[in-house]
Structure 1
Amino acid sequence: MQLPKASLEHWMREFYFDCKMDLGSSGVATYTFGDLRKLLPIDLEKMDAISFDDSMTRGCDGLRQAIANRWGNGNLHNVMTANGSNEMLYHIMSTLLEPGDEVILLDPIYHALSTVAETKGCNIKYWKMEPEAGFIPAMDDFKSLLTENTKLVAVNFPHNPTGVTITREQQKELIKLVSEVDAYLVWDAAFEEMTLGEQLPNPFLEYDKAISVGTLSKGYGLPGLRIGWCFASEEVIEHCVQLRDYTTLYISPLVEYVGQIAIENIDLLMAPKMKEAKDNLQQLTHWVEKNKDRVKWTNPQGSVSCFIKFKGVEDTEQFCRDLVNETGVMLVPGECFGYKGYCRLGFGASKASFDEGFGLLTDFLKKRYWA
């Protein structure tokens, strides 16, 4: 199976590591290990005793139990861990889907949720999040796509890249509709706790063919730890285990130890980062209102990113290239999600970095497009 180039990851490889200010990412500012040692009860003697041996394929019991306690019902047997949520999604999609399967995907959508189905030759139906409706998904549109032949539905709410989400009542309706046709529901919960309103619960606790995927990357400032997981049935997890035997085999026991401590104390990590992100969002919202004749967006209700459109900017890829090359500020062009004309703007950076980067972005727009 030859997967296509992941445009988003290609863009990040080209610019993320060299830019001065990152205003394009969809996660909060990252922690250092020194930060973790100050915030968390990390036992250095226990770390010294860790042996770099093989670990369990599904993940060590301690890490899985911490995940099950925080986001599930305490049953670690319905949890599998992976080297990031991308690996987890790859295992799920690769083992569940066959050519010709009917699959419903959000559009736009994060590439890890779509490319395996597209490459395998599945019959894809796109649940369009229309720009004219502020990218807010319509349940009636979803109902028109769903059939008795639907094998799998994949969504991510709160949504990347737009920041929109659905209500709890809409989530219940979505689960009910999918269950009535006995399809899998892949629920990307990367931004589960990163919400400005009601937090949507884990759908696996309500439907046994739901598969909820989580990560420490987005809201917790630990993308480099590379810990992802899923809640799923024993059957689905066993399929993933068989594929794991041909990929990464397991997670490092050192990573598992740090990840377990982080999850057991996750509020200590999330609270300061989300407060900073909300302060940045307040500043961004004020700026959009001040420039409402020049800027179009839907105010995000979750995650730490939005899809934004600037007056006078048509070729957003070239715009983003010019911006980062001339100012050092990185945004992500909508072309990475198949939506030319929009940019993903993230507001999860540190306050100092956001203020500086946002000032440079504003000056660039005034000089080049709004003169």
Structure 2
Amino acid sequence: MRKLPKAALEHWMREFYFDTPIDLGSSGVYTYSFRDLRKLAGVSDTDLDNIVFDDSPTRGCLALRQAIADQFGDGDPDRVMTANGSNEVLYHIMSSCLSPGDEVIVLDPCYHALCTVAESLGCNIRRWHLDPSAGFKPRFEDLNALIGRDTKMVVVNFPHNPTGASITAEQQQSLLDIVSAVGAYLVWDAAFNDLIEDGPLPNPALNYEKAISVGTLSKCYGLPGLRLGWCFAPPEVIRRAVELRDYTTLYVSPLVEAIGAKVIVTAPTLAAERRRVALSNRSILDSWLKENADNFKWPETFGGVTCFASLKGIEDTERFCRSLAKEHGVMLVPGLCFGHPDLIRLGFGCTEAELVAGLHRISAHMAEAYL
């Protein structure tokens, strides 16, 4: 394996996420407290007292895998592997399924974990570009032009991070048809699936034997700090990932598993409340963008809680984002973190008060220094 490149997004978040008062850069909904969870998920003192800090099965304890299989799959826990966040799942899947020279198709722009592991393995990366002038809508004719018999894996995330672009159920079936025709793996990152305006898409791993669906409690459910991710995958993929995991984290903490099993049962409730806030925030952001249409350009999308916007007259947005954070206390993410330095990622999964205050400060900063 070649040396993994610096994850520019995580480097940026380390610099600004914890010390900037208003976060309008993150890609998920705002977080729940443990007090919230104890009430919503019914986590009792007895549940906590019964946790034993022993080793746990490598694939995850049965109770948690069963809860995930029942909530998001077909009820078969043997098709589920849990991990310490979805990034660990992606690392294990790609490291165990890919070899140097394999052809891998990824979206562009792209969240780093969906691409750089394959790159570090020496894979041949082919990019399925999402065009800003077309509203970042995926063009399946472009995918057809990229894919072939040598394609080993196609990696997608819809709704897409950072653009918010998504696809319909009919388009998802078209994607499955294209990928299955060449027998490639489809890695379906479903981190934002419960943030599609028209409702979540089906789990493709239930309809295509080489689809691998990856989930997490971080983005839609407001629990990034729980560090719980999972995948639905073919048995041989899970077997290879487990063998690799013997050299990394071994398993998920019994504490996380016990709380996670409770949370998964109430996941729709957790997602519904945050989705309601996100849709309301979307209306606030839409109004603000219309008021600032001469300066901000954002192709309308219908999923996730981020937009990937351009700023009039600013080709390198890093300086703008740095000065905004330092002078006005608002964090955005410059597009360089996704290979597009002329754009910014703006997140609206926060509270309404935080969004309104942050947008007001962005307007002030633009008026003072840039426009």
* TM-score interval, normalised by the smaller of the two chains: over 0.9
AA aligned opposite 2:101: G
Q: Does 1:68 align with 2:69?
A: yes
- Separation of aligned partners in 2, 1:17 and 1:11: 11
- Separation of aligned partners in 1, 2:315 and 2:147: 34
Q: Does 1:117 align with 2:118?
A: yes
Native 8 Å contact 1:168 1:198 kept in 2: no
Matched residue SS, 1:65:
helix
Spell out the pairing of 1:5-154 with structure 2 (5 A cutoff): 5-154=6-155
Native 8 Å contact 1:6 1:111 kept in 2: yes
Of 241-250 and 32-41, deviating more is: 32-41
- Separation of aligned partners in 2, 1:348 and 1:299: 16
Native 8 Å contact 1:323 1:330 kept in 2: yes
AA aligned opposite 1:193: D
AA aligned opposite 2:5: P
Q: What TM-score does the superposition give when structure 2 sets the normalisation length?
A: 0.98
- Separation of aligned partners in 2, 1:315 and 1:272: 36
AA aligned opposite 1:223: P
1:8-65, CA deviations, whole angstroms, 9 ceiling, x for partnerless residues? 0000011101010000000001011111122221121121121110011101111111
Native 8 Å contact 2:328 2:361 kept in 1: yes
The CA deviation at 1:169 is 1.4
1:52-79, CA deviations, whole angstroms, 9 ceiling, x for partnerless residues? 1001110111111111111101111100
Structure-2 residue corresponding to 1:253 = 254
Structure-2 residue corresponding to 1:202 = 203
1:281-329, CA deviations, whole angstroms, 9 ceiling, x for partnerless residues? 1000111122222211122311111101121222201111111011110
- Separation of aligned partners in 1, 2:123 and 2:293: 41
The CA deviation at 1:235 is 0.2
- Separation of aligned partners in 2, 1:189 and 1:59: 19
- Separation of aligned partners in 2, 1:33 and 1:77: 29
Matched residue SS, 1:104:
strand
Q: Give the total of aligned pairs.
A: 370
1:226-259, CA deviations, whole angstroms, 9 ceiling, x for partnerless residues? 0000000100000110011100000111111111
Native 8 Å contact 2:226 2:256 kept in 1: yes
Q: Does 1:242 align with 2:250?
A: no
- Separation of aligned partners in 1, 2:58 and 2:354: 39
Structure-2 residue corresponding to 1:322 = 323
Native 8 Å contact 1:305 1:344 kept in 2: yes
- Separation of aligned partners in 2, 1:262 and 1:24: 26
Spell out the pairing of 1:285-364 with structure 2 (5 A cutoff): 285-364=286-365
- Separation of aligned partners in 2, 1:31 and 1:121: 39
- Separation of aligned partners in 2, 1:201 and 1:316: 36
- Separation of aligned partners in 1, 2:311 and 2:368: 13
AA aligned opposite 1:102: E
- Separation of aligned partners in 2, 1:130 and 1:267: 32
AA aligned opposite 2:266: N
AA aligned opposite 1:356: A
AA aligned opposite 1:64: R
Spell out the pairing of 1:125-274 with structure 2 (5 A cutoff): 125-274=126-275
| Structure 2 unaligned residues grouped into runs of 5+ | none
Matched residue SS, 1:214:
strand
The CA deviation at 1:198 is 4.3
1:322-341, CA deviations, whole angstroms, 9 ceiling, x for partnerless residues? 11011110000000000011
The CA deviation at 1:123 is 1.2
Native 8 Å contact 1:213 1:230 kept in 2: yes
Native 8 Å contact 1:164 1:298 kept in 2: no
Native 8 Å contact 2:133 2:299 kept in 1: no
AA aligned opposite 1:317: E
Q: What TM-score does the superposition give when structure 1 sets the normalisation length?
A: 0.98
The CA deviation at 1:212 is 0.3
Matched residue SS, 1:64:
helix
RMSD: 1.0
Matched residue SS, 1:193:
helix
- Separation of aligned partners in 1, 2:131 and 2:19: 34
- Separation of aligned partners in 1, 2:136 and 2:269: 33
Native 8 Å contact 2:135 2:301 kept in 1: no
Native 8 Å contact 2:41 2:265 kept in 1: no
1:113-141, CA deviations, whole angstroms, 9 ceiling, x for partnerless residues? 10011112111111011122121111000
- Separation of aligned partners in 2, 1:97 and 1:205: 22
- Between the two proteins, what is the percent identity of the paired residues? 58
Matched residue SS, 1:178:
helix
- Separation of aligned partners in 2, 1:99 and 1:168: 33
